Amino acid sequence: MKLTPDQIAQFDREGYLFFPGLFSAAETKTLTDAVPALYARREAYNVREKGKEAVRTNFAAHMVSEPFARLARHPRMVGPVEDLFGEKLYMHQFKINGKAAFDGDVWQWHQDYGTWFNDDQMPTERAMNVAIFLDDVTEFNGPLMFIPGSHKKGVIEAKHDLTTTSYPLWTVDNALIAQLVERAGGKNGGIVSPKGPAGSMILFHSCLVHASGSNLSPFHRVAVYLSLCAVSNHIRRFKRPEYIAHRDFTPIECLPDDCLLKDYPVEVPWKNGVPASAYETSLDPIVLAAAISS
Ligand code: SIN
Ligand code: MN
């Protein structure tokens, strides 16, 4: 899938692009059907909501589940990002966020690149966030919110919040959010929240400030969030476990466009368990030659 010049200009101006219904109901179903078995596993890669059983986020499904491994190589998702960066990509992070009916908790205001810079030493913001809805997203089930144009601010000040939810996040304080929203139009467009059917996709800049409220509705809001990083911009430190911040910088080779409907062979190396090495961490910058050849 190619982006038009208008889409490229819009991405530059607003920091995101929304593709409602990009994947069909049949394509989305192959993914949705694989989620319960993933969420049921008692593994570190399933982070549950504070004090609850509901899964907040599941990491690295593309290493465990064939449908998600195929999604990770889907040309409709990878193609536009390769176009924008003019370079091959690798998978930096792969999450399936549950935002479960009644139990789904907030994601505080943040930029993703703040975390990738502070924790993973990713050199620049040349990494793209992709959200793919596995449920319909409405005003009721905790849609993602963006401050349009906030990516133009680059990396902004953030503090490491270890207590609000079950997942640590570098979050932006309320006073700064109020300023950014005002600058983006205040009540007139200063916050937007793309909503649409299951199968919709959003591309959003790694510096775009975003958040989502809790889900008090009886409707789940499962969505895949993955981060595609330009290969030359790979992370330089392994402070976080590999199931959270990946260390395989091999360029993604896409499968055919019908890969969610046909069982093309894919490798799922963590199908029977996560290797011990994926839990190892280091505060030292990595030795590049070793990391690239591994
Ligand atoms: C995220 O920012 O990583 C997730 C936000 C959400 O699931 O609403
Ligand atoms: Mn985020």
Residue with CA closest to ligand 1 atom 7:
97
Q: What is the CATH number of domain 5-291?
A: 2.60.120.620
Pocket test for ligand 1, best of 95, 105, 107 (most atoms within 8 A of CB): 107
Q: Is the pLDDT of residue 289 over 50?
A: no
CA of 111 to the centre of ligand 2 (A): 6
Q: List strand residue ranges (DSSP E) for the chain, in order.
A: 16-19, 46-48, 55-59, 89-97, 107-110, 127-133, 144-146, 159-161, 169-171, 201-205, 210-212, 223-230
Model pLDDT for residues 189-237, shown as the tens digit of each residue: 999 999 999 999 999 999 999 999 999 999 999 999 999 999 999 999 9
Distance 91 CA to ligand 2 centre (A): 15
The number of the ligand nearest the C-alpha atom of 135 reads 1
Q: What is the pLDDT of residues 81-100, one digit of tens each?
A: 999 999 999 999 999 999 99
Residues with CB under 6 A from ligand 1: 97, 99, 107, 144, 210, 212, 223, 225
Residues 172-201 have pLDDT tens digits of 999 999 999 999 999 999 999 999 999 999
| Cα 202 to averaged position of ligand 1 atoms, centre (Å) | 12
Please work out, in degrees rounded to the nearest 5, the angle formed at the alpha carbon of residue 197 by the alpha carbons of 193 and 203: 50
| pTM across the whole model | 0.95
For ligand 1, mutation pick of 144, 167, 200, 206 (most atoms within 8 Å of CB): 144
Choose the weakest-confidence range: 47-56, 156-165, 256-265: 156-165
Residue nearest to atom 4 of ligand 1 (CA): 107
| Torsion (CA) 200, 203, 206, 211 in degrees, nearest 10 | -30
Q: Where are the domains of the chain?
A: 5-291
Give the pLDDT of residue 168.
84
DSSP state of 285: B
- Distance (angstroms) between ligand 1 centre and the Cα of 125 equals 18
How close is the Cα of 288 to the center of ligand 1, in Å?
30
pLDDT tens for each residue of 18-57 = 999 999 999 999 999 999 999 999 999 999 999 999 999 9
Q: Which of 225, 226, 227, 244 to mutate to test the pocket of ligand 1 (most atoms within 8 A of CB)?
A: 225
Distance 107 CA to ligand 1 centre (A): 6
Tokens of 81: 């990002």
